[in-house]
Amino acid sequence: MRQRIEVKRSNPASRNRLLSALLTCLPGAWIDPKNNELISLYRLRYRIALEEDRYDSAMIFLNKILEVDPMNAEAKLCKGDIYHRCLADYPKAIEQYNKVIRLTSDRQNESVHIKARAAMSEIMEMLS
């Protein structure tokens, strides 16, 4: 016959103590981050994934940036660069570069606009 082990159930008072201890020890764990903090975190994770040649993970983090900020031209440019330089998927790269060029027609993002145009002309020259 098997010996039965008695299990102690936690009472609500000890559970509340545990939660209060967690809140004091990990004060930032329960706070929702702001959008700019999320973008910084996703950008860092994108760079780490890119350095490790994990392009699928890098794309996931770029897509997460675009979920937070759909008009982020730099993230779209990076997606185009991955399609162009890493995956050799030129139709998708052209699509991303076109989106960047349309988004950055103003003077604020001139450097991103120039990079997208240069990459687009590089693809067109390579395909011709």
CA distance 69 to 76: 11
**DSSP state for residue 31 in the 8-state scheme:** S
Q: Between these two residues, 2 and 119, which has the higher pLDDT value?
A: 119
Please tell me the predicted confidence (pLDDT) of residue 68. 94
CA distance 77 to 75: 5
pLDDT digits (tens, 9 = 90+) for 83-97: 999 999 999 999 999
SS3 labels along 52-101:
CCCHHHHHHHHHHHHHHCCCCHHHHHHHHHHHHHHCCCHHHHHHHHHHHH
Structural domains present in the chain? 34-127 (1.25.40.10)
Please tell me the predicted confidence (pLDDT) of residue 88. 94
Predicted TM-score (pTM) above 0.75: no
Length of the chain, in residues:
128
Determine the average pLDDT of the residues in 44-55: 96
pLDDT(3) > 80: no
